[in-house]
Amino acid sequence: MKRKSLIALLLAATVAATSMLPADALAAPTSTKTKKTKKPAKKAAAPASDYYTGEFVNYNQWKEVQQFAGDMVAKHGFSRAELDSLFSNVRYLDSVVQLVKPAPPGKPKNWSVYSSRFIEPIRVNAGVRFWNENADALARAEALYGVPAETLVGLIGVETIYGRDTGRFRVVDTLTTLAFAYPLAPNREARMAFFRDELEATLLYARQAGIDPLSLQGSFAGAVGMPQFMPSNILKYAVDFDGDGRIDLRNSAADAIGSVAAFLVGHGWHREQPGALVYPATVSPSRAWETYLTGGLEAKFRPEDLTAAGVVTTSPLPPGMLYGLVDLQNGSEPTEYWVASNNFYAITQYNRSYFYAMSVVELGRAVRLSRGAN
């Protein structure tokens, strides 16, 4: 199979599972954008047929890998022999290298096309089932963290269709490849440092959880489980929400729900915030409002400032809060404008994209309405 065909196949297979990554993953900021069950203490590596296999390279002969292994021994007390054994089984994934390369310039961004991938019957129906099956965990998370069930349902649905598409790349293969063989790019050194940190976090998490690091599967960027947490975020934000004594984002819907809520709170979600996440808006022809599109992924403008610049919402904004202006480009069609609250921007810290955060909002709303109608 030609390389282009292979890459297209892999991308199609993982696009739902890796539709978006946490805030510190690949994307740069842009304005357009249960039941408790006993689980085994240790899991064996997945059979080769269950994940994308790569090319054998002797990573133990790579100077940078040797230095990384030495740091893991010195900083965290890992066994050098165990690390050498691990890296002798790690594979180089050229498909991952191709997938992280920037996409060539193409058509203008199109919110309608983008959102149609996520707000569609299969995902909505799956969301209704997920909500019904995990109503207790969702209610507990909402009470504990203040994050509404529909936001949690929307986010997990956008990420992996509720665990259906969590990725078939071995995380250690992916992260080792990107940590030491990232493709040429202006930000190559920074990206390699990021993925080395994630590889370090993977090994720490695997040791802490008592699992074989080679058993972890995820996206082409190393994100894991139903919520597609990068390994460092597993260490920082993942919680044992089903109370079985261990954190399992791959198999426990309750752990995924609680962990997403904890992540959002850790990135600025305010439980006491009144009103909606976003408000439809119109903008004046004067274009004085354009300066408010450069405010970054943060709510920092007063309602009266937006009004003075020609931004008008279809319903009143709750007073005493700060907001931001969001633009959703629609290809050749008119751009949509929304005024966003602080909690909307907390979602953008999961993935730094307006398109992503709005998809979470719209999918959660669609699931809630469908569930209510049924």
Catalytic residues: 159
CA–CA distance, 8 with 6 (Å, rounded to integer): 5
Contact 344, 277 (CB under 8 A): yes
Q: Tell me, what DSSP letter sits at residue 214? A: G
149: Cβ contacts below 8 Å, ≥ 6 apart: 131, 135, 138, 139, 141, 142, 368
Q: Tell me the residue type at 22.
A: P
Determine the 3-state secondary structure of 131 from DSSP.
helix
C-alpha span between 252 and 355 (Å, rounded): 28
Q: What are phi and psi of 301, to 5 degrees?
A: -115, 140
Whole-angstrom Cα distance, residue 254 to residue 130? 11
Which pair of tokens denotes residue 305?
Answer: 């400032």
The 10 Å Cβ neighbour count of residue 308 is: 11
Supply 113's token pair: 């096309």
> In the structure encoding, which two tokens stand for residue 25, read together?
């993953």
Q: Which residues contact 194 (CB under 8 A, 6 or more apart)?
A: 24, 25
